[in-house]
Structure 1
Amino acid sequence: MDKIINTSKFIGFLAGAYLGVSGILLKSLIKNDIIISQNTPKDINLDYKEISFSNGYDGSKINAWVIPHSKKLSERPWVIIIPDKRTNMIDPIKGTLGIIKGLNKQKYNILIYDINSDNPYFQDYKIIGEFEQMQTIAAINFLKNELGIKENKIALFGFGFGGSLAIIIGSKFQNIGAIISDSAFADLEILWKNSLKGIMKPFNYFIPGAKFLANIFLQNNINDISPFTYLSQSEIPIMIIHGLDDKIVPPEHGRMLARASGYDFVENKSKKQKIILKENIGHLDYFLSNPKQYIENISIFLEENLT
């Protein structure tokens, strides 16, 4: 009997130690250091309106800006910009304002919202669970219900984690006209494994424990955070942008997303899939390297797919 008790204690100790290390790993994998920018569209001489709407997940307020091309809001298509999780709305390093100005010049209306707004608990975590997904749905519903914009005139345009979120929502609900992602990951678990290299590689054995803890304490099933899976079941038009020198989200994620969309790397003639894999370009750096070409590519894709 003593042997059984001692063995049980030892197993309990090992399980506790495993979960303890898994918890430390989870915290490091999802830690979110936010870049706060005070820039607004006014800095680039664009008129904008501050608005807010509610997140259906918990009723929290989502701050947003509307940047119209003209007073006739329903005439031209709308682009909902989903920032990366590491920013509030404007990324001062990667040129968000320049992208907004370029799209506005091409006669697109813009709605951009703060993905980290008004809920400190979710600000701390670099993850896209139900809270973040309901934010995007709220932005779409604002355009549809408050401004009367039709679904086929709305595109989701996301950066980094925001790009993955755009793919999940657009593919899951099919309630918009098109998706654009820049430097998005294809699967969160694979991204975690990508980040554990060199001396960190043994920590891969603790990923199952980290997933278990995320499910319990964050109510997020990591297996569900897989844009690749959702996109493979979708026929929505999509443009995928990824730098081949991306060290944060490896370029294989861009290729995975392209394959999931049905893109033919040998001879693709469909206007519904536009894949741009750029050499010598890092994470979210394509716009900075060639702003004119970046905006032109996006404009052509949107004109072909938003009615």
Structure 2
Amino acid sequence: MRKWRIWAARAAAATFVLGLLAYAGVSYRVADGLTKPTRQPLDPPAASVAATYEDVSFKSTDGLTLKGWWFPVPSADRAVVIVHGRGANRIKSSFDPQKIAQFLLANRYSVLLFDLRGHGESEGLRYSLGEYEPRDIVAAIDFAQAKAGIDRKRVAIIGESMGGGSAIMTVKADPTIGPVITDSAFADGTTVVSEVAPNYTGLPGWFTPGIVLMARIFFDLDLSLIKPAEVVRDHPERAWLFIQCENDTTVFRHHGVELKAASANPGTELWLVPGCEHVKAFDTHTVEWEQHVLAFLGREIR
């Protein structure tokens, strides 16, 4: 009986260790894949946005070469940097940067479309959901400011999804930047990954802590540092425009509500858009989207 108990204990321990190793291995592989997006082709071309443009490149604040397109408006005294989401690029995105850039150009905003690190033609292997992307966005703002010859407060950011969360986090990195508009941005990095990881991976939710841990250990991605709602709370002097689809099944509605609740500025606006999915407010409510954005930019850039 005693030998049987020893054998059973050893078998249980071995099973536990093997299970733990399998859990760690699967978590590592998923974390590797989730932080390394597949690069999409640049399609449509820049000329589909406007005839006048420049192929440009500039360095992130940590030295990565970033690529983009600069669309100038002669004598314009304001500009917008558009920041795409995960797995997209400057022009290929569910957000429709082509039409949004055309709308901004028609209203005399020069526009910079660029690829975040690890996307499009920019350097970098991985993305970080907003931990390191602010280094790209600060550089993009500085580039647009220099190209347009304007004060950096007159350079606004419009960010979608991960690009929206990253845009908010950029205010933590550099509080002197201009107005920020987000579409489908998340309020907390750990929360949004916990919510979407099961759908993206097909794995049970109990794998998510392992995925998060592996991302931190091996890929230097610490989701606990990515807290856009805290950044909003820390900057009551700043007004924000948050756009959030009511039916979003990627970044749930509550993220937009939490971002709005975090702001003490009476000029902050949350537009909850009925009947649309993730980053689809522009497609389903184009006129209203344009009205909200123009009104906000008109108030914040004078």
* TM-score normalised by L of structure 1: 0.83
Deviations 1:46-89 (A, max 9, x none): 411111101232x231111111221x2xx521111111122121
* CA-CA distance at 1:279 after TM superposition: 0.8
1:51 alignment partner in structure 2:
56
Residues 88/201 of structure 1: CA separation in 2 closer, same or farther (3 Å cut): closer
2:290 alignment partner in structure 1:
295
Deviations 1:17-59 (A, max 9, x none): 33223224424644534442322342244411111101232x2
Deviations 1:163-190 (A, max 9, x none): 1111110244212121000111222221
Residues 108/144 of structure 1: CA separation in 2 closer, same or farther (3 Å cut): closer
- SS of 2:171's partner is helix
- SS of 1:194's partner is helix
Are 2:21 and 1:16 equivalent residues in the alignment?
A: yes
**2 CA distance for matches of 1:174 and 1:280?**
34
2:45 alignment partner in structure 1:
40
Residues 297/17 of structure 1: CA separation in 2 closer, same or farther (3 Å cut): same
Q: Percent identity?
A: 23
Deviations 1:152-211 (A, max 9, x none): 21211101111111111024421212100011122222112212569x898333333222
Q: Aligned AA for 1:56?
A: T
Deviates most, 150-159 or 10-19? 10-19
2:277 alignment partner in structure 1:
282
Q: Is this contact kept in 1: 2:53–2:71, CA < 8 A? A: yes
- SS of 2:52's partner is coil
Deviations 1:262-301 (A, max 9, x none): 37xxxxxx23x12110110111111112322211210110
* TM-score normalised by L of structure 2: 0.85
**2 CA distance for matches of 1:286 and 1:11?**
48
1:1-307 to 2 correspondence within 5 Å? Answer: 12-27=17-32, 29-30=34-35, 32-57=37-62, 59-70=63-74, 72=75, 75-91=76-92, 93-115=94-116, 116=119, 117-119=121-123, 121-122=125-126, 125=127, 127-130=129-132, 132-145=133-146, 147-195=148-196, 203-235=204-236, 236-262=238-264, 270-271=266-267, 273-307=268-302
Q: Is this contact kept in 1: 2:128–2:221, CA < 8 A? A: no
Equivalent residues, number: 290
- Unaligned residue ranges in structure 2 (runs of 5+): 1-5
- Unaligned residue ranges in structure 1 (runs of 5+): 264-269
Q: Is this contact kept in 1: 2:67–2:115, CA < 8 A? A: yes
What is the aligned-residue RMSD (CA, Å)?
2.8
